[in-house]
Structure 1
Amino acid sequence: MTMHQLIASPFLGDYLVVRPGFPNGMKIPRDKYLSLTQTTPDATCPAWLAKAALESWGLDIADRPLARTLLVRSESSFGFGRASYELNLGCNYDCEHCYLGLKRFEGLSWPDRERLLHILRDAGVLWLQLTGGEPMIDRLFSEVYQLAGELGMLCTILSNGSRLSSPKMLDLLTSRRPHRITLSVYGATAESYDGLTRRKGAFRMFIKGLYSAHEAGLPLALSMIVTERNAHEVDQMKALADSLGIPMDEYVNMVPTIYGGAETLPSQSAAHLRKRRPFTGCNAGHTFFHVDPHGMASICKVGRDPQISLMDEGVDGLRDLTTIADGLVLRQGGCTGCALSGTCGTCMPLVTLYRKAKAPLATYCQHKERRETTT
């Protein structure tokens, strides 16, 4: 199927026109959105859209057939705008800090993935994060990525970058540009990078993929993962991002595995343990949700229980997520009635994982000393 150059879509009460592979978009009034839904197949682009496309992206669509230029997405009765889809838990690295724990190569068949992507589209999802494991080593990554785009979803890919230098992968991503590719950075030298990932040659593959994608003009961002092993290279990792003009975020707080395992916690750099901002709620389960490799939907990557089987219940199953989300964020167990919970920086689903991991209270409770005094 030929990729459309523009997408008109409802998004959380607004109406947007976006261009796949480009960061900017524009908000349009509802009447203009409705006018786009009512055009005939042989209609040409309206003057206002042609002008806006030229000003926003330098895209000349004047007098072009609208049906071959613009995909108009239908309104959804669901309130979701974003989702993440874990294609597979499998990975070609074995990182010391990885929150996934067991990295099983399991996932849906193509017919089920195809159905799942239609469910995500019908739920209203405009921005879709493709993650793993390592999504680019999944056997059906190309098919998932292409269909998501054809259905009018803007894809962000979370990757370790090891496959980005592949000519086949570069051809796919340059011909159908993603919204963004976010690469994890595990060190600035082979010693720390390969040590953290427990894969010899991993740093070489990352650097090759990073430079290949940058030279291809792909939209990149970096996530610096700071651990005990690579903390001495923070400045070097920042310098790498600066040298390429790529934005970088820092992630310094290690968390238990999704099964409540504690094996990830020793990788924490004590000097970089950061006080979290007060948790005042989030959009998980309300405007955002997560889907695992088996088509099980949850409010987010952390709060995975209870789950909803989208393969069994379809898009209507998502109607229960809001109630699930509201229940999961309520303070429970030892946090019930805590007089300091209003300034706590850890959400309850994450607290639950820390408790399963039997982590020290100071790891996730910023009020440890004050709580003991209060008690």
Structure 2
Amino acid sequence: MHELVATPFGRRRLILRPGSPKAVQLPVAKFEELLALASVPSIVPGWLVDAVRAQWSLDLAGRDVADVLLVREPGPYEFSRATWEINLGCDYDCVMCYLGEKRFEGLDMAGKRKLLAVMRDAGVIWLQITGGEPLIDPDFPESYRLAHELGMQLEILSNGSRLHKDHILNMLATYPPAKLSLSMYGASAETYDKVTRNRGAFDRFRMGLYKAVEAGLNIDLSLIVVRENAHEVDAMRAWARELGVKFREYANISPTIHGTAEPLPSQSPQYLTNRAPFTGCPAGVTFFHADPFGRASICKVGRDPNIDLIAEGVEGLARLGGNAESLMLRTGGCSGCKLSGTCRVCRPMAKVFQAAKAPLVNYCQHGMR
């Protein structure tokens, strides 16, 4: 199993170590040298030995290139990042969930293998695996290991409910993700279980969280703030600081991806924040989203139109840039708006809010006047 990955990343060339957020940037000529060395028995060159030792304290002196390094070929487009909903099923029923109906369905393992191969061939190097809840998918362990073998840097977006299980934790300790993003819904069992509408959720989360910290995984906590847990925000912050892990807070709740308003009443008004002006994003240009059926869209909000990657393969992604341009056009009530230059949400998100008939204050500057 490789210990390092040499890969294109846009116009740059990088050396990455699975599970580490660090990187070594290479001149194109050095990357081409590694491509050539990887095709024949070769000893790791001295310049790479020195760079890797300095960045990760890892000694590659005298070792064979093929034993330690996976060299990724450039993809045909500019895509380097993707998110993948492995399944929309979830073991929680959170009051503020943006997914709406969480149906457990999607590709079988053969389809998942094909999708990951397409992502690899497209040039994806950073892959976020999400859901629903990804860790409850029976194919998650095999899918995760395969993505690792294909040379992807992995982030898992999870509620942490299965981290206490030994087979999950052992796999993540063996093949550590670059980031393990865990959602936190409260600081007590009463509150946590109320938000998730799942009895025992807090105890399972707490057990898995402590095990993950002990295993040295790179954890990033998402403190989800809603009406039901707003009184425990300070306690959640204190818990994260006590653990010594990074955390961020999310209080601006969105409608469901289907354009319905059920999650919005769960917002905690005193914790709502002003979004920064939207100045563009890489959706559909260097980034794409894949749903449980392998349908690629510009992001998890702008889901239509989409491209069936299982049927079309990498070539289908050539149309994604056009999809992004069409979805970002200002239409309906937003066309001709004089405040569009400082709009705080993208057009796909605005359309979801409009479909849900949400109050303007939730997404539009006109509602703040």
Determine the structure 2 residue equivalent to 1:257: 256
Distance of 2:286 and 2:248 partners within structure 1? 23
- Partner amino acid for 2:107? L
With 329-338 and 36-45 compared, the bigger mean Cα shift is at: 36-45
Determine the structure 1 residue equivalent to 2:199: 200
Contact 1:135–1:141 (Cα < 8 Å) also in 2: yes
Q: How does 1:86-105 map to 2 (within 5 A)?
A: 86-105=85-104
Residue 322, structure 1, aligned to residue 321, structure 2: yes
Q: What are the Cα deviations for residues 113-164 of structure 1, in whole angstroms up to 9, with x where unaligned?
A: 1110011011111100000000000010001100001000011000011111
Determine the structure 2 residue equivalent to 1:360: 359
Distance of 2:108 and 2:40 partners within structure 1? 34
Distance of 2:180 and 2:368 partners within structure 1? 41
Determine the structure 2 residue equivalent to 1:28: 26
| SS class of match (2:365) | coil
- Partner amino acid for 2:70? L
Determine the structure 1 residue equivalent to 2:293: 294
Determine the structure 2 residue equivalent to 1:56: 55
| SS class of match (2:5) | strand
Query: What is the count of residue pairs matched by the alignment?
Result: 368
Residue 135, structure 1, aligned to residue 134, structure 2: yes
Determine the structure 2 residue equivalent to 1:339: 338
Determine the structure 2 residue equivalent to 1:373: none
Contact 2:360–2:366 (Cα < 8 Å) also in 1: no
Contact 1:344–1:367 (Cα < 8 Å) also in 2: no
- Partner amino acid for 1:22? S
Residue 282, structure 1, aligned to residue 281, structure 2: yes
Distance of 1:226 and 1:355 partners within structure 2? 23
- Partner amino acid for 1:336? S
Distance of 1:242 and 1:358 partners within structure 2? 38
- Partner amino acid for 2:330? R
Q: How does 1:123-202 map to 2 (within 5 A)?
A: 123-202=122-201
Determine the structure 2 residue equivalent to 1:45: 44
- Partner amino acid for 1:192? T
Determine the structure 1 residue equivalent to 2:13: 15
Q: What are the Cα deviations for residues 192-222 of structure 1, in whole angstroms up to 9, with x where unaligned?
A: 1110100011111110010010011111110
Contact 2:254–2:353 (Cα < 8 Å) also in 1: yes
Determine the structure 2 residue equivalent to 1:68: 67
Give the C-alpha shift of residue 369 in structure 1: 5.1
Give the C-alpha shift of residue 367 in structure 1: 2.3
| SS class of match (1:117) | helix
Distance of 1:108 and 1:369 partners within structure 2? 44
| SS class of match (2:289) | strand
Identity of aligned residues (%): 54
Distance of 1:210 and 1:83 partners within structure 2? 26
Distance of 2:104 and 2:344 partners within structure 1? 34
Give the C-alpha shift of residue 41 in structure 1: 2.9
- Partner amino acid for 1:54? R
Determine the structure 1 residue equivalent to 2:118: 119
TM-score of the superposed pair, with normalisation by structure 2: 0.98
| SS class of match (1:9) | strand
Distance of 2:107 and 2:249 partners within structure 1? 32
Determine the structure 2 residue equivalent to 1:213: 212
Give the C-alpha shift of residue 53 in structure 1: 1.1
Distance of 1:112 and 1:162 partners within structure 2? 26
What do you get for the CA RMSD once the two structures are aligned? 0.9
Distance of 1:260 and 1:267 partners within structure 2? 16
| SS class of match (1:282) | coil
Contact 1:184–1:224 (Cα < 8 Å) also in 2: yes
Contact 2:359–2:367 (Cα < 8 Å) also in 1: no
| SS class of match (1:342) | helix
TM-score of the superposed pair, with normalisation by structure 1: 0.97
- Partner amino acid for 1:114? R
With 353-362 and 29-38 compared, the bigger mean Cα shift is at: 353-362
Contact 2:16–2:24 (Cα < 8 Å) also in 1: yes
